[in-house]
Chains A and B, each alone.
Chain A
Amino acid sequence: MKSAWEQLNKRIEKQEILTHQMIEKSTQRQYHSKLKKIGTSEYIGTLICYIGAAYLIVNFTKIEQILMQIFGIISIALLLILPIISLQSIRAMKKVNIVSKTYLETINTFAKQKIKFQKLQKLNVALGMFLMLIAIPVLSAIQGKDVSQIPHFWSVIFPFFVLFFLGFAYWVLRAYNRALNEAEKMLN
């Protein structure tokens, strides 16, 4: 094992691995650390949610039924809160202290952050599904339509959407559970 490693070391010594250009880039602030970066998709998601919330707020007066108004308020609250939960959980993951922690501390912190993140994401998905369900009648109410007047709404369209969302939620949550299991394994 040691001899194979030493042979590898000898081969590496003969290679010009790191270019001066790469070192220059790191020292001249041309490089932006990816560890602290929040992805464009997260910002786009947040923007979409806030546009949706703004639309509901602007058109809120058009909703007449009390039940739909309650659904509307819940929808606005969810559209405002969901991106905050998401961004906060990502930010928590980005609080990295690479230098002062030992390797074992870093593994433990990383795994715990990942577990917390996955749990929050699961909560986010569940709330997102709920939001999509209650947003349908609210949007209909804004457009002056009563959902019960849409043919087959309660008998076909609504159950179809429920089934679709449940299937989608199952698929998404399964992926999060897998990631969660992997993170938990790191702590063993």
Chain B
Amino acid sequence: MDIKQHFTKVIKENEGLIFKITTLYTNSIQDRKDLYQEILYQLWKSFTSFNEQSKLSTWMYRVSLNTAIYHLKQTKRRINTIPIDLETQLFSDDRDKEEEERIKLLYQQIQLLNLLEKGIIILYLDGKSHEEIASIVGISISNVGTRISRIKVKLRTLIIKNQ
């Protein structure tokens, strides 16, 4: 398998990660597509220098999240993005409406968090360990725990307020 095929395989296996980050850090479909492309480009650029398989997800999250921050300045968008509707393709008519509403509500509330909180909660919800979150975000492991608890309380309050 050549390097390009390997890259394509890695990306296809982790495309959900990129999808979630691009949706949570943008406020329009065009913006999201631009961020997609930018993340892919940045991942490809650093792919050759990356060689430790065990840290693959750490590398992908780090590059994707950092790219998302720098993408904020590309257009006249606010730093705290406003809630948007998720792709309609994810919610076709035959789906469970209640489930759809729950997902949308969670997404909207996460978008209201500040950048640091947003990054931490994405990693937490994606099942990353405290060690991995600490390594990607750059805070201590104990701080990860404290921050997650605070974010949960904040999200819960926001969700209850909006229900």
Q: Please, how many residues of chain A have a CB less than 8 angstroms from a CB on the other chain?
A: 41
Q: Is B20 an interface residue (CB 8 A)?
A: yes
Q: What residues on B are CB-neighbors of A183 within 8 Å?
A: 79
| Residue contact B7 to A103, C-beta cutoff 8 Å | no
| Minimal beta-carbon separation of B1 from chain A (angstroms) | 14
| Residue contact A114 to B73, C-beta cutoff 8 Å | yes
Given A4-B106, A93-B73, A98-B46, CB of A104 within 8 Å of CB of B16: no
| Minimal beta-carbon separation of B121 from chain A (angstroms) | 9
B130-156 vs A, CB cutoff 8 Å, 1 = contact: the mask equals: 000001111100000000000010011
- A186's contact among B95, B114, B137, by CB below 8 Å, is which? B114
- B106's contact among A5, A35, A114, by CB below 8 Å, is which? A5
| Residue contact A35 to B90, C-beta cutoff 8 Å | no
| Residue contact A22 to B37, C-beta cutoff 8 Å | yes
| Minimal beta-carbon separation of A35 from chain B (angstroms) | 5
B90-132 vs A, CB cutoff 8 Å, 1 = contact: the mask equals: 1100010001001101110000001110010000011000000
- A98's contact among B8, B66, B80, B152, by CB below 8 Å, is which? B66
A100-121 vs B, CB cutoff 8 Å, 1 = contact: the mask equals: 0111111100100010000000
Q: What residues on B are CB-neighbors of A42 within 8 Å?
A: none
Q: Please, how many residues of chain B have a CB less than 8 angstroms from a CB on the other chain?
A: 60
| Residue contact A17 to B19, C-beta cutoff 8 Å | yes
| Residue contact A96 to B155, C-beta cutoff 8 Å | no
Among the 9-residue stretches A24-32, A72-80, A145-153, A157-165, the one with 4 or more Cβ atoms under 8 Å from chain B is A24-32
| Residue contact B106 to A101, C-beta cutoff 8 Å | no
| Residue contact A18 to B36, C-beta cutoff 8 Å | yes
- B37's contact among A2, A31, A96, by CB below 8 Å, is which? A31
A60-84 vs B, CB cutoff 8 Å, 1 = contact: the mask equals: 0000000000000000000000000
| Residue contact A186 to B46, C-beta cutoff 8 Å | no
- Taking A12-B90, A33-B41 as known contacts, 20 extra A-B pairs with beta carbons closer than 8 A to each other, sorted by chain A number, are A1-B152, A8-B20, A15-B89, A17-B16, A18-B11, A18-B15, A23-B12, A26-B37, A35-B42, A96-B70, A98-B46, A99-B49, A102-B135, A102-B136, A106-B70, A107-B69, A107-B116, A183-B79, A186-B79, A186-B115
Please name the 6 residue pairs, one residue from A and one from B, whose CB atoms are nearest each other, closest first: A102-B138, A26-B40, A104-B138, A5-B125, A12-B16, A106-B66
- A-side residues, CB < 8 A to B, are 1-2, 4-5, 7-9, 11-13, 15, 17-18, 20, 22-23, 25-27, 31, 33-35, 93, 96, 98-99, 101-107, 110, 114, 182-183, 185-186, 188
- B-side residues, CB < 8 A to A, are 4, 7-8, 11-12, 15-16, 18-20, 34, 36-38, 40-44, 46, 49, 59, 62-63, 65-67, 69-74, 78-80, 89-91, 95, 99, 102-103, 105-107, 114-116, 119, 125-126, 135-139, 152, 155-156
